[in-house]
Structure 1
Amino acid sequence: MTAIPLTVPPRRPVGGSPSGAAGAAGGPASGQPGGHISAALRRVSFAFSADGSHAACLAAEADGRWFVESWRLGQEPGGLCVPQPLRPGAGGHRSENLQSQLLPLIDGRVLICRHQGLWQELVVRGTNGQADLSAGRLQQAGLRLLPLPCPAPGAPVAVALGTDGMTTTSVWLISADGVCAPQLVAELPGLHGGGIWLDEGGRLLGLDRLQRLADGSAQVKAVALDLVTGSVSPLLELSTRSNDRLAACDPATGLVLVRSDAPGEDRLGWGRLGSAEPLRFPECLRGGRQFLRPIAIEPGRNRVAVQADFGATSTLALWEPGSTRVDPLRVPPGRLGGVAHWSAAGLRMPYSAPDHPAAMASVDVDLLLSGESRPIVQPVPLGLAPLQGGRAGFNSVVKVIPQARETGWRLDGSAQRGDGRPWESAQTVTLPGAAGPLEGVVYGGDAWLTAEHLVMALHGGPADAWRLEFEPTLQRFAAEGMAVVAPNQRGSTGYGAEHAEAVQNAWGGPDLDDVLTLLQSIGGQRASLGLRQVALFGVSYGAFLALLAAGTAPEQVARVAAVSPFLSGARLQAEAGPAVQGLAERMGAAQEPADGRGPRDVLLLCHRLTSELLVVHGDADDIVPVTQSRLLRQELLRIGRVQGSDFQYVEAAGAGHEVLAEEGAPLLQELLAGFLRSVRPT
């Protein structure tokens, strides 16, 4: 089977373009100095520099190629956040890898860590288009970069935590001058993660150490690493059996926030470094069904910005030490990025919504808390200046051009559609599941259920979920006139442990029950109105689930688009690499659900796959081997199905597992949209 190279540029009816404008959610649109307008449709892996003057992320425009993006964050109140693509110089990487780790430096440059086989390659990307500077190579299975809090000129800029994945964590100091090699400062027995500074000078670093107990279980304890001596000392020890992690720290005041299950459940608590007072676990930080995470501490005032996640959405709140409540901050519905920086310019954090590609939000906390707005001071253009009174004066102009007002929320750098129209919006809804209500994200407005073309999208994972954020593939479907329902069936994350662990030792069990229940409910209502059956779209685990559903209830499914599917948990576990094998073993992927429905093997259901089928797989997929899809194709041909009429099969040359988020993705999105929207002749 010859793989198809994805080099043909697709038409771009819904992608961003250089003529798009940056917009704002819940506030005024923000212009970009120098006329620069961002066209990035995807942004991931945001990080902030030590002083908050810059941020960095991986970004991709309509062509699907990933690049490093540096953000200059205005340091005055109301200052804009301006993105700048950092393209590689001569001999640089054409497209950045999605697994690359970024660390923005205080001068706008970005330290990049790339996984290269058995090595981690460190390079520094400049802002002037010159060739990357080497910062060294380390032979480590994994590497985590942390910014030093106050790097002096010529001194190291970062700490790197390296692990062999089993027994040892190595700690290096990383320089960005292109001359100094990484400096090993400590080798710690065991696995260490996290990384929160305990002092302003960059000497004491709080880490979370994973300890193996005699009974085979694991335990996490926070420790303090002295980078000068290389020694480690205990930091948190609430009880002998508890898991105690450091969540946040303000070295200037000594405020620390911790996460521990010592109170009987996983809770947020707080205290002071060096204080004899016990840690406090206020009821208001219990969270309930929400997962609370402190994302930034206001310098000088100790107010804490708390991100609260549940299901598809995020909310933002404010908490102060000693307070018995958290104060909600009214931010637009969507998804926050889980990282932030708070300075005199305000609170900055990544934000995304279905109709707002990910960008940088600026929050004036006090203005949001007040619920009021204030006028934005803008210079009056000379042509509108009231040189004299009368009808042509300024008073007649302000009736036509209302004065812009600031609400306390602004979004900078969010791309608009290339055709000038707004992005398609989405909302969360409650859907029927086999064991109770489910949350889902839907495109198509309130009439989504009765749309002419309805697609049910099933997410990968299984430990994943659909979020109320910008999703280019679903956006493309909606722009083509299709309604989309994206359920978070059992097995999805963000709804508590019971919901997520429902598929433990039961891949294709409770989650398949939910999908079949939803298909029956939606299909019955659509059939009564004379509407077509639902089309299924799934990626990775979602593709496996979509194929199982189509083979179990073929009468409920019009067509299936399966991207990077596997055929069964057992087949995946047998063929995948070590990392995926380990995940499959931990989740009991090879075990069959005890529900009497029979083996969850797509090959055994091929004869029941009567819906039109499109299979897409990257031939360089290192997560789900392409041999899974090739075997499906062979079986379909063996039982007499005709490729080109009964099913379509596409291998993308050079594409990996994230085939819809890599170079050439727009072409595949166009292929998928055309297939899902088409109607089989009768």
Structure 2
Amino acid sequence: MSERIPLEALAALPTVAGLKVSHGGDQVAFYADWSGRFELYVQDLRSGARRQVTDGQAPKALRAGFVWSHDDRHIYFSRDHNGDERQAIFEVELTSGQVRALHHAPQSMDYVVDVHPAGGTLLVNSTRGGTMNVHVYDLSQEGEAAWRVLTAQPNTTQASAFSPDGTQVALNTNESPDLRNTDGYVTGTDEPALRRVFQVREGSQDQLGAWHPDGRRVAVSSDASGAGRVGLLTLDTGEVQWLTPEDDHLDEQPGRFSPDGRWLSVLRNVDSTLTPVLYDTRTGNGRTLKLPAGVAVGTDFALGGTKLLLQFSTSTRRAEVLLYDLERDEAEVLIPASYGELDPADFVTGEYVRYPTTDGLEVPAILYRPRHARPGQTFPALVHVHGGPTAQFFRGFDPHAQFLADRGHVVLCPNIRGSTGYGVAWRDANLRDWGGRDLEDVAAGAAYLRSLPEVDPERLGIFGGSFGGYMSYLAAVKKPELFKVSVPIVGISDLRQLHEDNSRVMPQLGYYFRSMMGEPEQDAELWRDRSAVTHAHALKAHMFMMHGANDPRCPINQARAFRDALKAHGRQEGEHFEYVEFDDEGHGAGDIAGRTRSYRLMADYFARRL
């Protein structure tokens, strides 16, 4: 079939991300790669005037956010080098555009969280002490003298914000032996004294979010009811005003308060859509914004709280920045989506489906079919597995699915066990079971594709990045008859090695992995069995491995080990598998050039092998 969407044109479409409204409410800062790489921009919300404030100093890949100073004169952001995620903090003075690097220990990861209301001090989540903990950075000091430890917890600890008066910090950590547990704490900024203020039950993920402007209350979230639920905690009494109805099919996460404290913005996750909801903090009543089914992110109040700024996309509509007028209940486009030479009418709609899996349950998924298929025509099909695994596919714009569907592939994007958005039971259904029931959900997805009349049952493939790469490795060796091709991207092939490397290089991920898959000694045999490298001899599918050489999350040795295992079993590169490393990337492509390269390699591979 003829292609309507040029691959290079699709990959080159610019991205706007990380929007954050200034404290004054009249400006928004964001990253955009209009120049080919990400730069930081500031736009006036009244006049629309926009200016670029970095010139090559912004991060190549966006894995950390930024914050405004309270006087709106500076922005602080974190940046790594070529995807190595050794995040360092930079300050940009907005009037002059001058950028200066703050002190950084070479192997640490420093994520700036907030600026003290009085200025002069940053709140930072950092691994500079080993485990991720909370630090403050004194902007008047130089070198190590600028840093002060606020918490020294043995488990991952992360702050959310300074209190409005700057005397306290809200943070989340775990002091329970149950690694899945998270509780909310506050501590003083001058005299740190950690105090737990929020726990619904041990074992649930109970967290503090934004401070209410009155400084006495904090937005909270908890999954103790079976799904994400939002409330408002009064610190003095411990009383919680729950806002989200208690419904295990309704998953919500808190955003920010309006300047007057009346409204709390919330994102409601239902059936792979994200919808903004505003809760009245006085009455508890909810108000759903009038937007079509799609994906809203980055909700932030602007212009005195009269408008809500957000990004919105659908499966056929790229993300655009909207200003939603709360009085008129309608949205205007602040930054339109760019389509370049492409015609949006050529994009295919992602169909929300559910397919049966092997134990009688149903797996929610998004299905993309080629446009203008002839009667009786059949196509190759792909299962695309998302990362995480605690993540999900949404009904937003998916460039992978669009260019593959345009090239005559049916693409299934399933939210298998372990995915978020469908309640705690579904999210936790693959605990200590990676490569178990979740793999059966993938296999059931392949069976579902085979049942579709437009799918050629002999031409099935699987691909995915990170955890999706793990599943692409494992499915190809645990279910060797299932797929003709497999494309693991920055994937995982050896769980023991992953835990060892993460615990040393990214301790917060080592902690996360143990919360998911147990302990190295106790669960050694499980880890061995659920590692694709153990079963490399069983590979029958043709495989194409892509990996960034600087990846600290799923290190390059994961791909190299599987490649070497294949060679040890007599497989030849080129004949049985293909392999590529990217020296200028970490955990995935970070700029337009990298995306274009990856898209081109994938399209070429599927055209030849599938």
TM-score, normalised to structure 1, is: 0.73
Paired with 2:212 and 2:387, the residues of 1 have a C-alpha distance of 37
Equivalent position of 1:54 in the other structure: 27
Equivalent position of 1:408 in the other structure: 331
Letter in 2 for 1:367: R
Paired with 2:498 and 2:314, the residues of 1 have a C-alpha distance of 33
Q: Secondary structure at the match of 1:308?
A: strand
Letter in 1 for 2:492: F
Matched, 1:429 2:392: no
Paired with 2:199 and 2:609, the residues of 1 have a C-alpha distance of 62
- Once the two structures are superposed, the pairs formed by residues 519-558 of structure 1 within 5 Å of their partners are 519-526=446-453, 532-558=458-484
Equivalent position of 1:333 in the other structure: 293
Paired with 2:266 and 2:476, the residues of 1 have a C-alpha distance of 42
Return the offset for 1:656: 1.7
Letter in 1 for 2:167: L
Letter in 2 for 1:419: L
- Once the two structures are superposed, the pairs formed by residues 73-112 of structure 1 within 5 Å of their partners are 73-75=44-46, 80=48, 84-88=51-55, 93=57, 96-105=60-69, 107=72, 110-112=75-77
Paired with 1:679 and 1:219, the residues of 2 have a C-alpha distance of 46
Go from structure 1 to structure 2 and tell me whether the alpha carbon gap of 1:524 and 1:238 turns closer, same or farther (over 3 Å shift).
Answer: closer
Q: Contact conserved, 1:464 with 1:492, CA < 8 A, in 2?
A: yes
Structure 2: state its 5+ residue gaps. 1-5
Return the offset for 1:667: 1.2
Q: Contact conserved, 1:540 with 1:624, CA < 8 A, in 2?
A: yes
Q: Which has the larger displacement, 180-189 or 488-497?
A: 180-189
Q: Contact conserved, 2:11 with 2:592, CA < 8 A, in 1?
A: no
- Percent sequence identity is 19
Return the offset for 1:593: 9.1
- Once the two structures are superposed, the pairs formed by residues 144-163 of structure 1 within 5 Å of their partners are 144-148=111-115, 156=120, 158-160=122-124, 162=126
Q: Contact conserved, 1:350 with 1:361, CA < 8 A, in 2?
A: yes
Structure 1: state its 5+ residue gaps. 1-9, 17-38, 369-406
Q: Secondary structure at the match of 1:632?
A: helix
Letter in 2 for 1:194: A
- Once the two structures are superposed, the pairs formed by residues 121-200 of structure 1 within 5 Å of their partners are 121-125=88-92, 132-137=99-104, 141-148=108-115, 156=120, 158-160=122-124, 162=126, 164-166=129-131, 169-174=134-139, 187-188=150-151, 190=153, 193-199=158-164
Paired with 1:166 and 1:679, the residues of 2 have a C-alpha distance of 44
Equivalent position of 1:323 in the other structure: 283
Equivalent position of 2:514 in the other structure: 585
Return the offset for 1:347: 0.7
Equivalent position of 1:207 in the other structure: 170
Return the offset for 1:559: 1.9
Paired with 1:240 and 1:14, the residues of 2 have a C-alpha distance of 47
Q: Secondary structure at the match of 1:315?
A: strand
Letter in 1 for 2:9: P
Paired with 1:114 and 1:336, the residues of 2 have a C-alpha distance of 25
Go from structure 1 to structure 2 and tell me whether the alpha carbon gap of 1:651 and 1:524 turns closer, same or farther (over 3 Å shift).
Answer: same
Matched, 1:40 2:5: no
Q: Contact conserved, 1:592 with 1:600, CA < 8 A, in 2?
A: no
Go from structure 1 to structure 2 and tell me whether the alpha carbon gap of 1:522 and 1:566 turns closer, same or farther (over 3 Å shift).
Answer: same
Return the offset for 1:255: 5.9
Go from structure 1 to structure 2 and tell me whether the alpha carbon gap of 1:252 and 1:634 turns closer, same or farther (over 3 Å shift).
Answer: closer
Matched, 1:474 2:401: yes
Q: Secondary structure at the match of 1:248?
A: strand
Letter in 1 for 2:513: A
Q: Contact conserved, 1:118 with 1:139, CA < 8 A, in 2?
A: no
Return the offset for 1:84: 4.6
Paired with 1:565 and 1:234, the residues of 2 have a C-alpha distance of 39
- Once the two structures are superposed, the pairs formed by residues 244-393 of structure 1 within 5 Å of their partners are 245-251=207-213, 256-259=218-221, 267-270=229-232, 279-282=239-242, 284-286=244-246, 288-300=248-260, 302-310=262-270, 312-323=272-283, 325-344=285-304, 345-368=306-329
Return the offset for 1:459: 1.5
Return the offset for 1:616: 1.6
Paired with 2:270 and 2:592, the residues of 1 have a C-alpha distance of 29
Q: Contact conserved, 1:56 with 1:102, CA < 8 A, in 2?
A: no
Return the offset for 1:504: 1.6
Larger radius of gyration: 1
Return the offset for 1:669: 1.0
Go from structure 1 to structure 2 and tell me whether the alpha carbon gap of 1:272 and 1:220 turns closer, same or farther (over 3 Å shift).
Answer: closer
Paired with 1:264 and 1:353, the residues of 2 have a C-alpha distance of 27
Go from structure 1 to structure 2 and tell me whether the alpha carbon gap of 1:599 and 1:299 turns closer, same or farther (over 3 Å shift).
Answer: closer
Go from structure 1 to structure 2 and tell me whether the alpha carbon gap of 1:455 and 1:661 turns closer, same or farther (over 3 Å shift).
Answer: farther
Q: Contact conserved, 2:355 with 2:445, CA < 8 A, in 1?
A: yes
Q: Secondary structure at the match of 1:586?
A: helix
Paired with 1:353 and 1:600, the residues of 2 have a C-alpha distance of 35
Q: C-alpha deviations, 1:55-94, integer Å up to 9, x for none?
A: 334444595x4x232231414xxx65x6654442xxx548
Q: C-alpha deviations, 1:209-234, integer Å up to 9, x for none?
A: 53636999966343253x5x546585
Equivalent position of 1:667 in the other structure: 597
Return the offset for 1:512: 0.8
Matched, 1:628 2:558: yes
Q: Secondary structure at the match of 2:441?
A: helix
Question: Aligned to 1:504, which of 413, 417, 431?
Answer: 431
Go from structure 1 to structure 2 and tell me whether the alpha carbon gap of 1:658 and 1:232 turns closer, same or farther (over 3 Å shift).
Answer: same
Letter in 1 for 2:210: A
Letter in 2 for 1:314: L
Q: Contact conserved, 2:546 with 2:579, CA < 8 A, in 1?
A: yes
Matched, 1:461 2:388: yes
Equivalent position of 1:442 in the other structure: 367
Q: C-alpha deviations, 1:624-680, integer Å up to 9, x for none?
A: 232332333334344444432432222223322224767522112111022223456
Return the offset for 1:261: 7.9
Go from structure 1 to structure 2 and tell me whether the alpha carbon gap of 1:543 and 1:187 turns closer, same or farther (over 3 Å shift).
Answer: closer
Go from structure 1 to structure 2 and tell me whether the alpha carbon gap of 1:570 and 1:328 turns closer, same or farther (over 3 Å shift).
Answer: same
Q: Secondary structure at the match of 1:453?
A: strand
Equivalent position of 1:656 in the other structure: 586
Equivalent position of 1:223 in the other structure: 186
Return the offset for 1:254: 5.9
Q: Secondary structure at the match of 1:519?
A: helix
Paired with 1:291 and 1:251, the residues of 2 have a C-alpha distance of 25
Letter in 1 for 2:293: P
Go from structure 1 to structure 2 and tell me whether the alpha carbon gap of 1:111 and 1:198 turns closer, same or farther (over 3 Å shift).
Answer: closer
Q: Secondary structure at the match of 2:379?
A: coil
Question: Aligned to 2:547, which of 589, 609, 617?
Answer: 617
